Structure 1
Amino acid sequence: MNGVTYITRDGDCLDNICWRHYGRSSDMVEMVLEANHGLAELGAIYKENIEIFLPEVIEKPIAQNVINIWD
């Protein structure tokens, strides 16, 4: 699995880490928690020097139903 390792600073929280890295936290927090077993047990605010793996996001194409008024 491709991605990067983030080393926490004192007071970091996962939603802010995801926001800074991915540009959003929606769905990303859950994905990062799945990739880092035991991270949820550390609480919401982290101490420094915790390694968190941030997996690469592969965007799936969004299927769009285009309705053409001429069809």
Structure 2
Amino acid sequence: MRVMALQGDTLDALCHRHLGTTAGLVEKALALNYGISLHGPILPLGTVVELPEVPAPSIGAVVRPLVQLWD
């Protein structure tokens, strides 16, 4: 998936916004976008970033219900 960086975006912020998590995906995004680290932590406005696919949950994974303190 290709996304474009907004003003003040970081790679982990892009992963979290578009993929919903950063666990292990920031490293994969760094591998997909050779040289992106040369920009520093804040990406320039309009930088096109290739994001990895989110791995599917395994068959034996336990899904726990969301607990909210206030409904």
TM-score by length of 2: 0.72
* Residue in structure 2 matched with residue 34 of structure 1 by the alignment: 31
Identity %: 33
Matches within 5 A, 1:1-71: 4-59=1-56, 61=58
Q: Could you say what the CA RMSD is over the residues aligned between the two structures, in angstroms?
A: 1.7
C-alpha displacement at 1:9, in angstroms? 1.2
Number of residue pairs aligned between Structure 1 and Structure 2 = 61
State the secondary structure of the residue aligned to 1:45: coil
Structure 1: where are the runs of 5+ without partners?
65-71
Computing the radius of gyration over CA atoms, which structure comes out larger, 1 or 2? 1
Q: Measure the CA separation in 1 of the matches of 2:31 and 2:22.
A: 14
**Runs of 4+ in structure 1 over 4 Å off:** none
More strand by share: 1
C-alpha displacement at 1:57, in angstroms? 2.5
C-alpha displacement at 1:32, in angstroms? 0.4
Q: Measure the CA separation in 1 of the matches of 2:32 and 2:57.
A: 19
Q: Measure the CA separation in 2 of the matches of 1:34 and 1:61.
A: 23
Structure 2: where are the runs of 5+ without partners?
62-71
